[in-house]
Structure 1
């Protein structure tokens, strides 16, 4: 199994996204994936029904908004994957074949770059999964405990807010528990999968920078570097075309989502509910940071290509070689990942956080004004 993206592919296999050639009962696995996806999307629709039913109540809306919006972005990604399944599979096959080639490299410095990236991705994936699973399981356990301790005539709070056409607590609970398990699997799996591909691009750029800084006058080496640079640009363009709309949706939704969580944090007492909100905020912020930080690194290391080419001993070589290096430097353009028209960089990530806090302040003022009336 591929050491960089293997863990995420295994999770996608469990979900029914990835069907391998040697896998038994392919139709059954495919059916499982479709069933989980459809049930998740239907549940998300029921969340929006509940959201619109309480549209005039700020407190009720913020209780519903965070998970509803997160599940909406996840549903969009599911639909996008099935719509562009062959293109995603082509990307996975390309990454897998390139990683195998990279692992056979004999240069010690390049080996160190590759193994460092693999270790970093594994640690990042583990940390993100742990945070996401803690958040989801806390929500499930908290709802179950409150149900057992509940003594009033009213129904105890469920794991999530959504509309049901019936009024049976435990049936509603187990449906939500089923959906939460889908969410706890697919949300961290999908985001860490895309980030692992971004780290693959960063690794390729680091190796190319290393080779350019030590390039010699051998024409075949120069052609190979130019070809690798072109391949990276084409690959990132294809990846961006697939994920751009999802990232743009995140840009719009996550500022509102974080605002809702911050507002809810001010409405609950210190305890398990506050811990859930804290881990929820950490999970959402981590998702944003992973995308914007690694997109920023792709831009940085693509910018470094011209600097690395300049750092080679060009002054010791022929005029023809110096001319080639000059053309390479002047022709180099940074790779910029866009979420439609939004540039993916750390400044944009900070702008989303600032916008979330501004919305939270505005919402708090509106709630306080209503309370005073």
Structure 2
């Protein structure tokens, strides 16, 4: 049983430049809490409520789409199916996140402590790398969050307008059941009223479920991106320091010109030992991250590849309205972006790890003593160990992402060819 104290973070962790935006959102959701909060257990209780809410919303949507049997027009059911399946994927991710909260908190504590120490020792070039990473994670977060928010505002605006000016088109559950009317966009995405003709469930439920979706889906995936970019930052800094082989990092008052060859070998060997220990810490962090995301990413790999194929088919065969067309396009973009950020950043981690081997060769090893040269050779051999990430049975890299896209397009062509007959 996880204790509340094990899930608390120090206040300064919430101001970390890489994780700040996500941690403040997580705190609001109750996923993590601050040691300054008077009642942190109440904040963490919210996490249970939000996680249960997503699963209830997912169950209602899946029940509705399975009970509907078939749709008169394929495009009519495309947005309902896409929403339900996407919520199923995010339900897996949120449940996994809830179960592994302790692992996430420990990773955040380690990353924050490491970045604090780094800022005290970093030179100007290394600080530039840190600031570039901070800008990058903000940009990638906005790229995924903006389409989700735009989609939500479209559905909410349509519902508000119709509720005020055309209420007969909103409160029409009976007519929808008889097939005499079409539900508005918000109720097509979340057709809860088809299962329970109740104001709280049928009207307020979709509003709440949509709010959960447009915040939770981009929040979790971009947070994992932050962790992956932190790993690439660590590898880039390590490569830079290996090339420099600056022993004054160990002891700033050292005067290199006054040291004997034996003393130089001593300090360089200590520096090499520090590099190996740092690489081992990075590998352990990669392992922890892989354990955290392997199940939800594997689910996304299966679910999104099938759903992308289905949406392409619905856009081609059906006759979607402008609103449905916009939503299906946003769904395709968001699903492709989620898959891309995982596989692309996993590829970056492998590439940065490979650069570390070249860094060992790029330093002035030919001017070092034989013991240091042997240690550098050992480091080069150690960097050859794989650092690739896997989602259960699937390798996470750019090739896998391209295979998913090609596979979805192949299935789409197969469906279109079958439909033409």
Name the TM-score, length of structure 2 as normaliser: 0.82
Contact residue 198 and residue 298 of structure 1 kept, 8 A: yes
Q: Give the structure 2 partner of residue 43 of structure 1.
A: 57
Q: Label 1:312 to 1:44 Cα distance change in 2 as closer, same or farther (>3 A).
A: same
| Structure 1 position 356 matched with structure 2 position 420 | no
* 1:303 alignment partner, one of 354, 379, 394: 354
Q: Label 1:257 to 1:137 Cα distance change in 2 as closer, same or farther (>3 A).
A: farther
Question: Which structure has more RCO (C-alpha within 8 Å, separation ≥ 6)?
Answer: 1
Structure (1 or 2) with the larger CA radius of gyration: 2
**In structure 2, how many angstroms separate the alpha carbons of the residues matched to 1:155 and 1:239?**
45
Deviation at 1:171, TM superposition (A): 5.0
Contact residue 64 and residue 160 of structure 1 kept, 8 A: yes
Contact residue 343 and residue 396 of structure 2 kept, 8 A: yes
Tell which deviates more after alignment, 5-14 or 350-359. Answer: 350-359
Q: Deviations over 1:79-120 (max 9, x none)?
A: 112222211111111111112222223311111111111111
Contact residue 79 and residue 324 of structure 2 kept, 8 A: no
**In structure 2, how many angstroms separate the alpha carbons of the residues matched to 1:361 and 1:141?**
36
For structure 1, list consecutive stretches of 5 or more residues without a partner in the other structure: none
Deviation at 1:136, TM superposition (A): 2.4
* 2:36 alignment partner, one of 22, 32, 57: 22
Contact residue 149 and residue 214 of structure 2 kept, 8 A: yes
Q: Deviations over 1:17-69 (max 9, x none)?
A: 11111113323322322112112101111222123224555826534322122
Tell which deviates more after alignment, 246-255 or 217-226. Answer: 217-226
**In structure 2, how many angstroms separate the alpha carbons of the residues matched to 1:270 and 1:357?**
23
**In structure 2, how many angstroms separate the alpha carbons of the residues matched to 1:268 and 1:33?**
40
Tell which deviates more after alignment, 22-31 or 53-62. Answer: 53-62
**In structure 1, how many angstroms separate the alpha carbons of the residues matched to 2:65 and 2:292?**
29
Name the TM-score, length of structure 1 as normaliser: 0.92
Q: Give the structure 1 partner of residue 93 of structure 2.
A: 77
* 2:183 alignment partner, one of 149, 156, 162: 156
**In structure 2, how many angstroms separate the alpha carbons of the residues matched to 1:144 and 1:326?**
67
Look up the SS of the partner of 2:279 in the other structure: helix
Look up the SS of the partner of 1:365 in the other structure: helix
Q: Give the structure 2 partner of residue 342 of structure 1.
A: 394
Contact residue 269 and residue 375 of structure 2 kept, 8 A: no
CA RMSD between the two structures: 2.2
Q: Label 1:328 to 1:305 Cα distance change in 2 as closer, same or farther (>3 A).
A: same
Q: Give the structure 2 partner of residue 105 of structure 1.
A: 121
Q: Give the structure 2 partner of residue 11 of structure 1.
A: 25
Q: Give the structure 1 partner of residue 212 of structure 2.
A: 182
Q: Where in structure 2 are the equivalents of 1:176-325 lying within 5 Å? A: 176-215=206-245, 217=265, 218-266=268-316, 267-269=318-320, 271-325=322-376
**In structure 2, how many angstroms separate the alpha carbons of the residues matched to 1:121 and 1:81?**
20
**In structure 2, how many angstroms separate the alpha carbons of the residues matched to 1:47 and 1:156?**
15
Deviation at 1:252, TM superposition (A): 0.6
| Structure 1 position 328 matched with structure 2 position 379 | yes
Deviation at 1:360, TM superposition (A): 2.2
Q: Label 1:140 to 1:52 Cα distance change in 2 as closer, same or farther (>3 A).
A: same
Look up the SS of the partner of 1:17 in the other structure: coil
Q: Label 1:260 to 1:197 Cα distance change in 2 as closer, same or farther (>3 A).
A: same
Contact residue 290 and residue 389 of structure 2 kept, 8 A: yes
* 2:135 alignment partner, one of 106, 114, 119: 119
Deviation at 1:296, TM superposition (A): 0.3
Contact residue 209 and residue 304 of structure 1 kept, 8 A: yes
Deviation at 1:273, TM superposition (A): 2.5
For structure 2, list consecutive stretches of 5 or more residues without a partner in the other structure: 1-14, 170-174, 247-264
Deviation at 1:8, TM superposition (A): 0.5
Equivalenced residue count is 369
Deviation at 1:243, TM superposition (A): 0.8
Look up the SS of the partner of 2:183 in the other structure: coil
